[in-house]
Amino acid sequence: MSIDYTDPNADVPPGVDFLNALEVDAWVAACEVDKPWRVPMRQRFADLLSALPNGATALEIGSGPGLLAECILEACPNIESYTLLDWSEHMLDLSKARLSRFHAAQFIQADFKQAYWRKQLSPPYSAVVAMQAVHEIRHKRHVPGFYRQVRDILEPGGVLAVCDGIPRDTSILWQTSLLMTVEEQLEALTFAGFANVQLESQLGATVFVTGRAPK
Ligand SMILES: C[S@@+](CC[C@H](N)C(=O)[O-])C[C@H]1O[C@@H](n2cnc3c(N)ncnc32)[C@H](O)[C@@H]1O
């Protein structure tokens, strides 16, 4: 069913209800099937975080079933603590089962659209990562302010790494309200006060961007 609305400032309704266990299971079963970019993009995150010093701390936002966390924790013995944040209890249960062998993994249930979403966290973090999750803020106009909140929980020089989709059809309003172009991602990071803002990689309609918290 197509979404019919004409207000470019309206939040885009969610396509999947991640608070519903059946919808979560269906999403998880399908998420790797037609998205060949997910495996190489996970490896980009792992390469980035493996370069951090020993004792590094990481936070993942919208961590889902823990596939990115598993890839990073397998590749990065330098990560001392890795916190997975998601609002979906069922997603957190799936990730807890997947990551039970990693002592570094910690889990927090929180809604990153709420003003107090950082309350349970223990900043500062060496890295904050998000894969296919930033668009869950449901409108790109919220993203620069969100990135500013993330900057404030990073240590000086800490890295924010984001992988997300770009609009595939710029004539479709919901896509251009929800998804950000490369330029919009880089502008949002810059607006939020990040330095060394970069497009690291692009695979089809998916990009991997980074920024560093000021030193
Ligand atoms: C598209 S899935 C991606 C999951 C994971 N990052 C991956 O790539 O495998 C989006 C995730 O963001 C979570 N999410 C959506 N809205 C959220 C919110 N407001 N606060 C916290 N998590 C949220 C969902 O529960 C879901 O796990």
- Interval 44-92: pLDDT, tens: 999 999 999 999 999 999 999 999 999 999 999 999 999 999 999 999 9
Instruction: Name every protein residue with a CB atom under 6 angstroms from any ligand 1 atom.
Output: 18, 31, 62-65, 67-68, 86-88, 91, 111-113, 131-133, 136
Domain residue ranges of the chain, discontinuous segments joined by +: 21-212
Q: Which residues of the chain have pLDDT under 70?
A: 1-5
Domain 21-212 has CATH 3.40.50.300: no
Q: Measuring CA to CA, how many Å separate 142 from each of 16, 65, 145, 208? A: 19, 25, 6, 19
Q: Could you tell me the maximum CA-CA distance found in the chain, to the nearest angstrom? A: 50
What letter represents residue 66's amino acid?
G
Site to probe by mutation for ligand 1, drawn from 33, 59, 68, 86 as the one with most ligand atoms within 8 Å of Cβ, is: 86
Residue 67 makes CB contacts below 8 A (sequence gap 6+) with: 31, 32, 38, 42, 98
Calculate how far, in angstroms, residue 7's C-alpha sits from the geometric centre of ligand 1. 25
Please give the Cα distance from 3 to 15 (Å, whole number). 10
State pTM to two decimals: 0.97
* Cβ-contact 207, 182 below 8 angstroms: yes
